[in-house]
Amino acid sequence: MDDETALRRLRDRLADMEQLRLLVLHGSRASGTQHENSDWDLGYLATAPLDPGELHLQVTDALATEAVDLVDLDRASALLRFRAARDGKPVVARPQGAWTEFVLAATHFWCDAGPVIERAHDELLAELAP
């Protein structure tokens, strides 16, 4: 099954999962650089507690594969959130505007945190150098 058909099946499968606010495809499938063995990288946000095991089951069943990496974007790193916002594609976004809100929040946070994280990374590498 091609990716667009798989994503349509996924949208249909998750239509009744009311607490799912946002499901974002990111990684190689979002950028179009996937290969035959690429997994599905997906991030989600929920409006209420969500059973991640149940969501994973629904996703793997709809996509007909176990090769799924599913991450709660509320718990993800600033860099992953930023990359999902920059390069990702919304699969489910509700209410209208949820995708835009996520992109703005993730970008704003990265603009604040990114330089601090990069500076700490550089300092750590300098300390580890012989």
What digits encode the pLDDT tens for the residues 21-47? 999 999 999 998 999 889 999 999 999
Give per-residue pLDDT as tens, 88-126.
999 999 999 999 999 999 998 888 777 787 888 888 899
Distance CA 4, CA 121 (A): 38
CATH of residue 99: 3.30.460.10
pTM of the model: 0.85
- As for how many domains the chain has, the answer is 1
How does pLDDT run across 63-85, given as a tens digit for each residue? 999 999 999 999 999 889 999 99
At a CB cut-off of 8 Å and minimum separation 6, what does 126 contact? none
Domain extent at residue 30: 3-128
